């Protein structure tokens, strides 16, 4: 079930009414209702994978209880590794098995050995990377004794399957979300109106910005051999806008829906395209995943090999972002994308002293910040090309044609004609307005959090109505959320 679908428009009001007016007197009844609603929400896509979700709840719940009950280090380690193997095993089977079989066959073919390997045609369950990481994070926290194990199976199942987050996060931490299922929730009008405002902003980003950009980004990427250099640059920029508006829009809706149900969920984006370094970017982009990887992978690894010095830091970044790329999907393009980000982060650390010295000696600080932003943004756009391509060859051809065509005059005329005759003014105007609002609201949780709060109510509501009008009349062709495939 998609947040921007008619199904959800019917489903959520029913959930909201039953949640606040029927089952609100008993906390466990409310939690049980969340579990049922979450399983309906998830099963709406494919009911056959409900058993997978249920098994994840059972196995990680049992693992938490056993870890909490035992103090012997070897036993606790064995229990931890059993849970890790189970969770990673789910991802390997459902997400990577066909990729590994294909890579294995290709490697042998490369060395002149022809072997056959069949595809198992395994369907990738939506959201598996998200709820698996959320459950695994709980087990790791119980092992480290960062959080008490959850005794109540219904509360734990509600935490793992919580429907606003199950398909594409944010990946919540047990230390933050799980205790909220043990606390009585009362309806908070100001929290609810803030949630509605964030949902409106998320829908605007997804339906008006992302879906419209997607139509032309797909056109250019799918026919890249037919376009000149500047049009390919334009296509890369469109995809850069699309993926941000799409994923952050989803996160805004998820957080807003959670707030309507009385939950506080961690933010997932902090205006990442205003970053002035790649490290800064990863503190602002997909924050839930960045911090998960930092706490459960990068930090333990870098501590383990701290005697390596700078080489250890570089190696830790490399491994963390190699796996970050692989988390996004079973494709070499994601791996290369992850490795490039890992190397860029390592460069950030290595060059920190030199950059600090340059910044100190440079009198024009604004110029330094602008150049830092420009270099970072260019790097992000460049790596999105690799991320978006179906194969490494396709990405290489796109980049090669992009640079080779930039000096050809007809390429610019082609781009202008595309803008003038096919795209029109609406999308560019809305996109510029979108980034203007993002810039003005960059110190808030989301761009329109406080927009118009000091104005007369009429003007503030006029802005909301304009956004609703834009959602209804300037929606692009409906596109699935990009991060559903991960």
Q: What tokens does 9 get?
A: 């428009």
Specify whether the CB–CB gap between 239 and 388 falls below 8 A.
yes
Contacts of 338 (CB under 8 A, 6+ apart): 321, 322, 323, 324, 325, 326, 328
For the chain, what's the residue count? 486
Q: What tokens does 363 get?
A: 């009198």
Q: Which of 109, 263, 251 is nearest to 192 (CA)?
A: 263
CA angle 193, 195, 196 (to 5 degrees): 65
Distance, CA of 5 to chain centre: 20
Contacts of 444 (CB under 8 A, 6+ apart): 450
Count of C-beta atoms within a 10 Å radius of residue 208: 26
Cα–Cα distance measured from residue 332 to residue 334, given in angstroms and rounded to the nearest whole number: 5
Whole-angstrom distance between the N-terminal and C-terminal Cα of the chain? 16
Cα–Cα distance measured from residue 146 to residue 327, given in angstroms and rounded to the nearest whole number: 25
Which residues are catalytic, by number?
Answer: 328
């Amino acid at each position: 079930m998609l947040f921007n679908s008619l199904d959800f428009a019917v489903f959520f009001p029913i959930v909201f009414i039953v949640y606040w007016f029927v089952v609100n007197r008993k906390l466990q009844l409310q939690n049980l209702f969340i579990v049922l609603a979450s399983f309906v929400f998830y099963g709406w896509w494919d009911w056959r994978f409900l058993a997978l979700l249920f098994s994840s709840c059972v196995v990680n719940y049992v693992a938490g209880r056993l870890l909490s009950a035992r103090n012997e280090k070897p036993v606790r380690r064995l229990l931890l590794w059993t849970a890790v193997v189970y969770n990673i095993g789910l991802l390997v089977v459902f997400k990577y098995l066909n990729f590994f079989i294909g890579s294995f066959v290709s490697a042998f073919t490369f060395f002149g050995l022809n072997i056959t390997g069949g595809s198992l045609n395994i369907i990738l369950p939506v959201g598996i990377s998200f709820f698996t990481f959320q459950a695994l994070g709980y087990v790791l926290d119980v092992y480290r004794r960062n959080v008490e194990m959850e005794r109540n199976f219904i509360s734990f199942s509600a935490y793992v399957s919580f429907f606003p987050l199950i398909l594409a996060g944010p990946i919540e931490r047990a230390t933050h979300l799980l205790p909220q299922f043990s606390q009585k929730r009362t309806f908070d009008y100001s929290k609810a109106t803030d949630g509605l405002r964030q949902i409106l902003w998320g829908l605007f980003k997804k339906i008006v910005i992302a879906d419209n950009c997607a139509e032309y980004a797909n056109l250019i990427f799918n026919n890249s051999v037919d376009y000149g250099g500047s049009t390919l640059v334009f296509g890369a920029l469109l995809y850069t806008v699309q993926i941000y508006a799409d994923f952050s829009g989803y996160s805004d809706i998820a957080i807003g829906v959670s707030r309507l149900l009385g939950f506080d969920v961690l933010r997932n984006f902090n205006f990442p395209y205003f970053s002035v370094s790649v490290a800064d970017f990863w503190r602002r982009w997909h924050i839930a995943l960045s911090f998960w990887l930092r706490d459960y992978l990068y930090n333990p690894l870098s501590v383990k090999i701290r005697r390596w010095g700078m080489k250890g830091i570089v190696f830790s970044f490399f491994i963390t972002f190699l796996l970050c790329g692989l988390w996004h999907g079973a494709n070499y393009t994601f791996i290369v994308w992850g490795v490039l980000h890992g190397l860029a982060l390592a460069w950030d650390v290595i060059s920190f002293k030199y950059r600090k010295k340059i910044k100190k000696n440079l009198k024009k600080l604004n110029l330094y910040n602008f150049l830092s932003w420009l270099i970072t943004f260019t790097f992000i756009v460049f790596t999105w090309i690799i991320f978006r391509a179906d194969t490494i060859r396709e990405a290489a051809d796109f980049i090669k044609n992009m640079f080779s065509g930039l000096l050809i005059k007809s390429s610019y005329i082609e781009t202008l004609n595309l803008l003038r005759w096919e795209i029109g003014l609406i999308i560019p105007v809305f996109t510029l307005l979108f980034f203007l609002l993002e810039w003005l609201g960059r110190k808030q949780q989301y761009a329109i959090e406080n927009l118009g709060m000091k104005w007369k109510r009429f003007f503030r509501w006029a802005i909301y109505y304009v956004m609703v009008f834009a959602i209804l009349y300037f929606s692009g062709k409906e596109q699935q959320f990009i991060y559903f495939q991960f």
